[in-house]
Structure 1
């Protein structure tokens, strides 16, 4: 099976290395910079979805919301399945519609990687019976919020105590913090939806990990889930588990028994 990757950032590099170690490619990298064409190692670099080879079976989006919006519909329309970690992009109703229609035209499927959070299977199951409340709290060290709107609301370099810099719906969180709030979108998509999922984002100098918490209640009962995740070594804004979840999604896609 031929695979390709969108993006060569921290997550893209992790996924590429993982694919190579499993003998799964990548065969193509869709990138916005650097030389194009086939390198000595056999990896082809292209600029557009139109330039992807016809026998490609699966693309993995590791490049963020803008890349998913730019390339996702064209990839799906060509009948190529797509895995993405950019779940926050689906907070845009127009893009969600475009991706859905493209997948139907191409008879392809968009796979949503779980990203930096767990317990989404429980949320999906609980949604069947009805959810009454879902809240997500994201807590990171101040440096983890660098490059986000948190810089406009807090002095991240001088912060001495935990401070909340966002409270609102998952849709607002995902659109306002496109590089930081994919987890909020993942929780919303698995559970109660973008408008019904409440989000709180916190900068906390007392923590060293990225902490994600979900609280949900419904006909099933209630649960509270907490995970403390590390960032990738070369990017404090990229979750190691998010990169791992993309690889796990690929493994499920090709496995004879999907767990």
Structure 2
């Protein structure tokens, strides 16, 4: 069984109790160890070309889905911590080995407001802070020249793109501001800011992104920046259904989170 097939069957394995000794409540340590070895096997992860976002979704599904959607009549099913750790290690390997490299200069900007208290649209068991961290680090790894910026209210900090997902999630969780950093990000994206002039793609990630707040930045760069950069906006919490947007060849807007999002943004940067 290849790794992709194993990931697809994990929910069934868990549901049917194959991780436990027959007739007993305790974990089947031999079988669990075998599954973990396969999940985090370097050769299997590289051969499968699993993306970090896919591993993130499986990790969050294993960790949160039972607790988040369990019936009030039943307790959530216990989570096997060994498999949870194996999925986390798989995500780290995929981040290092399975990210497509480009020569583009990419600036990833994160608005931390509400990320640590929100879940993603479409994948409602995935914490927004985890999705944001995985997406940000994936895109930073993709770039030939990467910048990773984190906004917390009026505070801006430059983050090392080589930090781990866990470290970035912990950093996001320290946000205590009561409002998003929309104004501060928009001011930073002004083409008069010399730090933005050598960028091919700007990616803004947040729990709730309003595209209208940034369209002036897009127009200003189109007029004043000869590099004519592209913009991708990732609203992890979703977009209101009544919103309509005018097509713009230099703008990509994503809603929610899935395993294709980062690849789509990378492909967009190459157009």
TM-score (norm 1): 0.32
Q: Which has the larger radius of gyration?
A: 2
TM-score for both structures, normalised by structure 2: 0.31
